[in-house]
Amino acid sequence: GHRALAVKTSNCAIGALSVFLGDGTFLLSTFSASFGDINMTSNKGLDVDAIQAAPPVVQNHDTDDEKPVLNTGGHGPTQRRLKDYHITWIGLCSGIGTGLFIGTGSAYASAGPAGLLLAYIVVGAVLWCVMQSISELATLFPTAGSFPHWATRFIDPSVGFSLAISYGYCYTIAIASECSAAAVLVSYWTDLTPAVVITISLVLILWINLMSVRFFGETEVVTGGIKVLCFLGLVIVAIVITAGGGPNHKSIGFKYWNNPGAWVDYNGITGSTGHFLGFLSAFVNASFSFVGVETVVITAAESVNPHKAIPKAANRVTYRIGFFYVLGALLIGLIVDPRNADLVSGSGNAKSSPWVIAIQTAGIKVLPSIVNACILVSAWSAGNSYCWVGSRMILAMTTDRQLPQFFARTTSKGVPYVAVITAWLFGPLAYLSLGSGGAAQAFSWLLNLSTVAGLIAWGTLCFCYIRFYRAMKVQGIDRNTLPWKAPWQPYTAWFGGIGSIVITLVAGFPVFLKGNWNTADFVASYVGIPIFIVPIIAWKLYHRTKVRSLIQYFSSIVNTDFAACRFYEPTKSTCGLVVYLTMPSQPMTLSGSMFKHYLGILWISKHSCMQLA
């Protein structure tokens, strides 16, 4: 592990910084500087061919009385231990839980084959646009917590504060949701009390998250492999069943697209209106399946090489959406009758999974238990990753001085154990499933609470990117100079933002239908909106912050964050200490107290590059 090194300056002049690498070479970065006020007139940094695009400058807030309205985030006390293959698997499989394997059942029963497929395509398109936008930001600003920092930088500190709360509770509550689901899944085999299963799940989640982040990454790789193999097996089985290769030797083809048809009536409402409402009903379930994919971007602050790993993960999201969700929705429409009562039985275990229903209908034995076991692993894995995300949101708030620094305490391996425990403490909400209504009802409530918060975060992040894009344009900065740029911007950000808002607003539409009003369902569907708005108002009233102009915030952030500072990619032949000075792309004057923000120290080992100060 490492501890931050304090860099102190005095009234003297520095002529050059020498950098020694393990292969025996010296690199020089010359500049003129005089303390008190430092006049920087050179924009030359380290001239190394292997140098990569810049990370954001680490802003160390040394005094407790520093105004939080000026925060811009930082790396925090975590360590870069996630390798590229960790990021790949987290991006491919993180967040895949019960929504994909079980939640699709009720959506399919409401929307029919065409409605389900279209819902997954539309929500998938929205997510793809969101991912492209936030991946460009994460590659440029790989800070701890990422999301609230961007809202603080590009919109307003109040929005960053609110997003941290909203997104944090989204994932801390989701821990309870997945543990509750795990208890229901185990009931497929035994009548073991759900409390035992919930307790075991919570203990395992806490243990994993208190280990090194690299151990967390390895866990995601293993569980991700199980998810991929399980789904690949389901795809093969679905094709075999459709072709009539099952024990009953009945060829199905597109039978259910013809009878009852591509669309089904919603709650007795016939015609095009009923079909459209069925399509809308699939949005919530589809959104729950997709929420969590974006969390791979948060790994940027703990990735060894975020400038390469994050763009790759963003590009692979396309394959994840196409393989897991769109292909899955298509196959479900081929192998299961949407009128099957088990789809809406509310059992919450494999019995209500459209995949298991199809397997049982085809007369295939043993496989349902195997699928249920894989779904159980997926549920626990999703809860594990949600705890990790929730803890990083808490850490982001401490970095921005929005929470006491007590929550930022870390172990020698860079694990923010106080933040982890705080996020994990929301997990015992899963015991609500032991009360009236059963686990299925608790799961449904928690699902709605977490889904709406996730969708609000999508819309907010797209707006962050739009502000970022406009600032680039106002400043006349070419996006080709960025470490990585997303395609078709800013149109993708606009589509992602508007799509997220629309889905959020229609999420609870069933309660507005005649005779369907239910106060509890209304609150569960829309409580995320006031939870997001109230902290913004409270922060604005207390701190009196103003939204900065595009020129103001970009002049102070972009020039120092990526235009000059360079990130060295380690190789097997290099190791040692690198001292660098961030040189602004434009001449500027810095006060002596600000100089510490621009002097950095890197430790380059054979396997990693770690920022020390």
Confidence of residue 445 (pLDDT cuts 50, 70, 90): low
Structure letter (DSSP) for residue 248: T
pLDDT for 523-565, tens place per residue?
878 888 888 999 999 999 888 777 666 655 544 444 333 333 3
Confidence of residue 83 (pLDDT cuts 50, 70, 90): confident
By C-alpha distance, which of 429, 421, 471, 470 is closest to 447?
A: 429
pLDDT score of 606 more than 50:
no
pLDDT for 297-330, tens place per residue?
887 778 777 777 777 777 777 777 888 888 888 9
| pLDDT given at position 209 | 92
Quote the CA–CA distance of 311 and 297 in Å, as a whole number: 9
By C-alpha distance, which of 557, 565, 180 is closest to 382?
A: 180
| pLDDT given at position 591 | 40
Quote the CA–CA distance of 73 and 262 in Å, as a whole number: 49
Question: 221 CB contacts (<8 Å, ≥6 apart)?
Answer: 85, 86, 89
Quote the CA–CA distance of 92 and 320 in Å, as a whole number: 6
Q: At CA 103, angle to CA 97 and CA 104, rounded to 5?
A: 115
Quote the CA–CA distance of 14 and 11 in Å, as a whole number: 10
| pLDDT given at position 202 | 94
pLDDT score of 189 more than 70:
yes
Looking up tokens 């400043």 gives 475
Quote the CA–CA distance of 452 and 429 in Å, as a whole number: 18
| pLDDT given at position 564 | 31
Report the chain's C-alpha Rg in angstroms: 25
pLDDT score of 96 more than 90:
no
pLDDT for 401-435, tens place per residue?
888 888 888 888 888 899 999 999 988 888 877 76
Question: 303 CB contacts (<8 Å, ≥6 apart)?
Answer: 80, 82, 84, 86, 87, 142, 309, 310
pLDDT score of 206 more than 70:
yes
Report all structural domains of the chain as residue ranges with CATH numbers, in order of start.
16-76+545-611 (no CATH), 84-518 (1.20.1740.10)
Hey, which of 24-33, 277-286, 460-469, 510-519 has the most confident mean pLDDT? 460-469
Tokens of 583: 């040189």
Is 110 within 8 Å of 276 (Cβ atoms)? Answer: no
**Amino acid sitting at position 386:** Y
Q: Which residues pair with 28 in a beta bridge?
A: 18
Confidence of residue 145 (pLDDT cuts 50, 70, 90): low
**Amino acid sitting at position 138:** A
Residue 491 backbone dihedrals phi, psi, to 5 degrees: -65, -35
By C-alpha distance, which of 292, 260, 337 is closest to 105?
A: 337
Cβ–Cβ contacts within 10 Å for residue 320, how many?
24
Confidence of residue 137 (pLDDT cuts 50, 70, 90): confident
Confidence of residue 46 (pLDDT cuts 50, 70, 90): very low
Cβ–Cβ contacts within 10 Å for residue 79, how many?
24
Helix (H/G/I), strand (E/B), else coil: 314: helix
| pLDDT given at position 446 | 64
pLDDT score of 11 more than 70:
no
Give me the sign of the Cα torsion angle 164, 168, 169, 170.
positive
Pairing of strands 26-30, 16-20: antiparallel
pLDDT for 222-276, tens place per residue?
988 898 898 888 889 889 888 888 777 777 888 888 888 888 888 878 888 888 8
Question: 505 CB contacts (<8 Å, ≥6 apart)?
Answer: none
Instruction: Provide mean pLDDT across the span 441-467.
Output: 80
**Amino acid sitting at position 58:** V
Quote the CA–CA distance of 438 and 505 in Å, as a whole number: 28
pTM of the model: 0.75
Give me the sign of the Cα torsion angle 535, 538, 539, 544.
positive
| pLDDT given at position 555 | 45
Helix (H/G/I), strand (E/B), else coil: 216: helix
pLDDT score of 578 more than 60:
no
| pLDDT given at position 59 | 34
Confidence of residue 398 (pLDDT cuts 50, 70, 90): confident
Note the Cα 605 to chain centre separation in Å: 29
Pairing of strands 599-604, 576-581: antiparallel
Question: 398 CB contacts (<8 Å, ≥6 apart)?
Answer: 76, 404, 405, 407, 408, 419
Tokens of 552: 């103001």
Share of the chain above pLDDT 90, in %: 10
